[in-house]
């Protein structure tokens, strides 16, 4: 998996649980190093290894950790770029949901060798969606739960999320939009300078 993914997980665990916990996780995962570099490529196996190790070291279900990671990615000030890049996807939460179909392509425009799992949004009855997540890494749906929950807040939308399990190798997140324009939301200026 791309270093950016592993590095983000490292920063998430170090930031949330402390650097020594991260070092325990790295050790438990059988890594012979503790620092991932964002702009290097790593063996595919590392990502599930560190996630499993984190679940063991923290004594928490892996799904929960992955959801927290999703939340961290789009809410931590150090990852403001991620939130902003996602906000480019749409004007409101529904528009944003629809943009998720292109997310992997968008990401590859920026970093050509960063392959994210494919996402597909299905629209059902009014305000009902399901997000189908091709899960190269088990639990990716949970990461998306954390991302969507935070982005709904960011847009000022009120949505209920539910991980509806796995079908045909894909994880499904059900989204019930209660109100698209529920609260003020966080501001997003197209031209803001970041970093």
Interaction of residue 185 with another protein, rule CB under 8 A: no
Q: Sketch the per residue contact string, 14 through 43, with another protein: x for CB under 8 A, - otherwise.
A: -----------------------xxxx---
Pick one of 15, 17, 56, 90: the residue that binds another protein (CB under 8 A): 90
Structure tokens at 159: 């949505």
- Let me know: does 95 contact 89? Beta carbons within 8 Å: yes
Angle in degrees, 0-180, between the axes of helices 19-28 and 46-58, rounded to the nearest 10: 120
In 84-157, DSSP assigns E strands to 119-123, 128-134
Least distance in angstroms from the C-beta of 185 to another protein: 13
Q: Any contact of residue 45 with another protein (CB under 8 A)?
A: no
How many CB atoms lie under 10 A from the CB of residue 103?
A: 18
Among 1, 149, 133, smallest CA distance to 73 is for 149
Q: How far is CA 118 from the centre of its chain?
A: 13
Q: Which of 106, 115, 118, 186 binds another protein (CB under 8 A)?
A: 106
Helix, strand, or coil (residue 99) = helix
Binding to another protein in span 109-128, by CB under 8 A: 109-111
Only segment of 12-20, 88-96, 132-140, 143-151 that touches another protein (CB under 8 A): 88-96
Give the shortest CB-88-to-another protein separation in angstroms.
4
Q: Number of H helices and number of E strands within the chain?
A: 8, 4
Question: Which residue from 81, 160, 178, 183 is in contact with another protein, where contact means CB under 8 A?
Answer: 81
Stretch of 49-57, 104-112, 126-134, 146-154 contacting another protein, by CB under 8 A: 104-112
For another protein, the closer of residues 106 and 163 by Cβ is 106
Residues 87, 98: Cα–Cα separation, whole Å = 12
Question: Is there binding between residue 194 and another protein (CB under 8 A)?
Answer: yes
- Residue 176: its H or E element: strand 170-179
Site residues (vs another protein, CB under 8 A) = 4, 37-40, 81, 84-85, 88, 90-91, 106-107, 109-111, 189-195
């Amino acid at each position: 998996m791309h270093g950016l993914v592993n590095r983000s997980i490292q920063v998430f665990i170090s930031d949330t649980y402390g650097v020594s916990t991260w070092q325990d996780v790295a050790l438990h995962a059988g890594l012979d190093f503790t620092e991932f570099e964002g702009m290097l490529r790593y063996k595919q196996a590392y990502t599930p290894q560190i996630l499993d190790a984190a679940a063991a070291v923290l004594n928490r279900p892996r799904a929960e950790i992955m959801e927290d990671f999703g939340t961290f990615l789009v809410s931590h000030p150090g990852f403001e770029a991620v939130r902003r890049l996602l906000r480019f996807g749409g004007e409101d939460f529904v528009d944003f949901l629809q943009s998720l179909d292109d997310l992997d392509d968008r990401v590859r425009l920026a970093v050509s060798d960063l392959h994210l799992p494919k996402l597909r949004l299905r629209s059902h009855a009014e305000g009902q969606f399901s997000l189908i997540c091709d899960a190269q890494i088990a639990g990716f749906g949970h990461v998306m739960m954390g991302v969507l929950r935070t982005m709904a807040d960011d847009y000022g939308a009120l949505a209920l999320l539910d991980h509806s399990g796995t079908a045909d190798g894909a994880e499904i997140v059900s989204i019930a939009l209660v109100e698209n324009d529920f609260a003020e939301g966080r501001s997003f200026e197209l031209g803001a300078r970041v970093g």
